Homo-oligomer: A and B are copies of this chain.
Amino acid sequence: MNELEFIARLRALAVNPAARGLVDDAAVLKLGDETLVLTQDSMVEGVHYLPDQDMADVAWKLAACNLSDLAAKGAQPLGVLYSHMLGSGDARFLNGLREVLEAYDVPLLGGDTVSANGPRSFSLTAIGRATYSPVPSRGDAKPGDALYLTGPVGAAMMGFEALRDGTTSDSSAYRRPVPLLAEGRALAPLVSAIMDVSDGLLLDASRMADASNVTISLDRSAVPIAAPESRRDDALRWGDDYQLLFTGPADIKWPIAVHRIGQIEARKGSALLIDGAAPVPDDALGYRHSE
């Protein structure tokens, strides 16, 4: 069974309406007067990080990518649960975990350790409380909305290449991504749709378009990039930047700095138009290196 088929069948198990965003978005769960937001993401050695990477950075990124899912829901983190597979670099891992939890003031609530041979994997669950209801999703972009991005893409790509090639360039954007928690809370009451750009701008924009049944028309040159202009196409496809991609009115004064990068149209044909043209082939939108 391939991954898309597995996800489709997993979704079919999720009869609860709260699981609408299963696998894609963080889960939303009403409890009394509160609304919980929950997300669980894993990282696997050799798939989501380089085998010789500093384990402190792996821990940081694992927590940050989960917190970014909360950010995209406008949620305030309440804590994390963490499953650790024991192995080399465990002391560094703990350092990185402490650093990221302190940086975002998130308590460690519980977890589990296991021993195993072979490539290691780590799984973290983040729990938050929604600060705005209804909790926004990626599925409510409307024709006529404008498309926005909180900041540049491509920084993680440049950081990855610096790390891979052992240059002196700054690799922190790849190693220590920043979940935009305050930005997500500020945006949640105002957006029609929102998600984080973890798998690449083009791929994630096409997912937002599919989830909302609209066509997203992207102005290629309007996208801010943190890479040389010659790498623009790569920057639009690389992931791991954790900027927030969102839609909303074209004439609003946003509470934070945002970049307008396109507009939403009624769905006709392609999920995505780049400067008015459908991308070909469809599977070159992103690297899918980060699940």
Interface of A toward B, CB cutoff 8 Å: 1-3, 6-7, 9-10, 13-16, 18-19, 21-23, 25-27, 29, 31-34, 36, 38-48, 78-79, 81-86, 90-91, 94, 97-98, 101, 107-119, 121, 123, 125, 127, 129, 291
Contact = CB atoms under 8 A, between A and B. Distances in A.
16 contacts: A3-B113, A6-B90, A13-B97, A13-B101, A14-B110, A19-B109, A29-B79, A32-B33, A34-B34, A40-B83, A40-B112, A40-B125, A42-B112, A85-B121, A117-B118, A121-B123
A285 to B, nearest CB: 18
Nearest to A85: B121
Nearest to A125: B125
Of the candidates A86, A110, A115, the one having the most CB atoms from chain B within 10 angstroms of its own CB is A110
Nearest to A44: B116
A14 B82 CA distance: 11
Contacts of A113: 3, 6-7, 10, 23, 291
A29 B79 CA distance: 9
A81 B128 CA distance: 14
Given A94-B9, A110-B38, A79 B16 contact: yes
A92 to B, nearest CB: 10
A35 to B, nearest CB: 10
B18 A114 contact: no
A44 B107 contact: no
A68 to B, nearest CB: 13
A78 B18 CA distance: 11
Contacts of A40: 81-83, 110-112, 123, 125
Contact of A118 (B48, B86, B118, B123): B118
